[in-house]
Structure 1
Amino acid sequence: MAHEEDHGKSLAEIEARAWELTEKIQFALFSTWTGEKLEQWPLTAHVDKEARAFYFLVDKGAARYNHIETYPDVMLGFSDSPGGKYVVINGKAELSNDRAKIKELWSPFAKAWWDSADDPAIRLLTVTPYRGEVWDSPNKLVSAAIMLTAAVTGAKPAVGEHGAVRM
């Protein structure tokens, strides 16, 4: 792994923070290229640091995943806006019918879309990350004061720590 930007944090610290925040935030904006246009929608992420993967349960019938094999590069955006914390993950996506993993990830939340983990329409969408960026900003009130001061003085705002890491 190569460290792309040095902001006082080690590669391991930035990567650990990316995993920590994505697990805490849990909801990702999934961005993808269809071959014709960029598209984005929210998904619930199952974050697995040990496997170095993000898992999503999706519907086999959803046409929005038809292009994944041809265009597997995707982006996941995680936002804890009240806390000023953001993570962007670039990765490769893959769809599978891994029934064991689907059953492992099944939760009462998934019942909103499917009756059970045995529903044949459920597919596993796995994103394997290769790059992550973290913005770990101070609290919102402090950020607002920093931005206001920057606007008045013309200085560039220091809105917290930012780091990028190859994952």
Structure 2
Amino acid sequence: MSENNLKSTFWDRITDVNVGMLSAKGTAPRPMAHHAIKEDNALWFLTADHTDIGEDAAAGKDARYQIASGEAKLYAVLDGKLSIETDRAKLDQVWSPMDAAWFEEGKADPAVRLVRFSPKSAEIWAHESSAKAFYEMAKSTVTDGTADLGDHGKVTF
């Protein structure tokens, strides 16, 4: 699969993934729910200003986001940069009822920080159906070959 096709598959499938592990350089990974917007070439996160992710984003740190979803048939390790977004329209665009559970005053809570993760590069694994994966594993056992479980590659954004 070409780099462009693998990136397209990534953006198509990331919307079916709920949570990944986000970490800035020197910070332990944290489970974070994302809002993927292909047109922004970004993943958006909501956090509180006093959290390590909020502080790392305010400092503009390099970060890594890791995804493992059998349901979405997508596995990825993305490297990029964190930043704080202050545009209220973008907050309105990504806000969901699930986000409200984390903030007493909802979107108006002064602690809300909208964090942009801008990926620079990624290693992506995208496989097809589970049936195909089982077939490939069985075939490799019988033929002493290796299973072809899907597409894999490194991409830049």
**Shorter-chain TM-score: what band?**
0.7 to 0.9
1:50 corresponding residue in structure 2: 39
Judge conservation of contact 1:83–1:139 (CA < 8 Å) in 2: no
Identity %, equivalent residues: 25
How many angstroms apart in 1 are the aligned matches of 2:2 and 2:145?
27
Q: Does 1:94 align with 2:83?
A: yes
1:25 corresponding residue in structure 2: 17
Give the deviation of 1:15 after TM superposition. Answer: 1.5
Number of aligned residue pairs: 156
Q: Does 1:80 align with 2:69?
A: yes
How many angstroms apart in 1 are the aligned matches of 2:57 and 2:131?
40
Q: Which runs of 5+ in 2 are unaligned?
A: none
Give the deviation of 1:45 after TM superposition. Answer: 1.0
Q: Which runs of 4+ in 1 moved over 6 A?
A: none
TM-score, with length taken from structure 2: 0.81
Give the deviation of 1:134 after TM superposition. Answer: 2.4
Cα distance change of structure 1 residues 69 and 118 upon mapping to structure 2, 3 Å threshold: closer
Residue type matched to 1:138 in 2?
Answer: E
Q: Which runs of 5+ in 1 are unaligned?
A: 1-8
TM-score, with length taken from structure 1: 0.77
How many angstroms apart in 1 are the aligned matches of 2:12 and 2:156?
16
How many angstroms apart in 2 are the aligned matches of 1:63 and 1:83?
28
How many angstroms apart in 2 are the aligned matches of 1:64 and 1:110?
16
Cα distance change of structure 1 residues 64 and 25 upon mapping to structure 2, 3 Å threshold: closer
Structure 2 counterparts to residues 105-120 of structure 1, below 5 A:
105-114=94-103, 115-120=105-110
Give the deviation of 1:92 after TM superposition. Answer: 0.8
How many angstroms apart in 2 are the aligned matches of 1:67 and 1:124?
12
Q: Does 1:16 align with 2:22?
A: no
How many angstroms apart in 2 are the aligned matches of 1:122 and 1:70?
16
Residue type matched to 1:107 in 2?
Answer: S
RMSD: 2.5
Cα distance change of structure 1 residues 45 and 129 upon mapping to structure 2, 3 Å threshold: same
Residue type matched to 1:11 in 2?
Answer: E
Give per-residue Cα distances to partners, 1:20-54, cap 9 Å, x unaligned. 111232422213322xxx51122111111111111
Give the deviation of 1:58 after TM superposition. Answer: 0.6
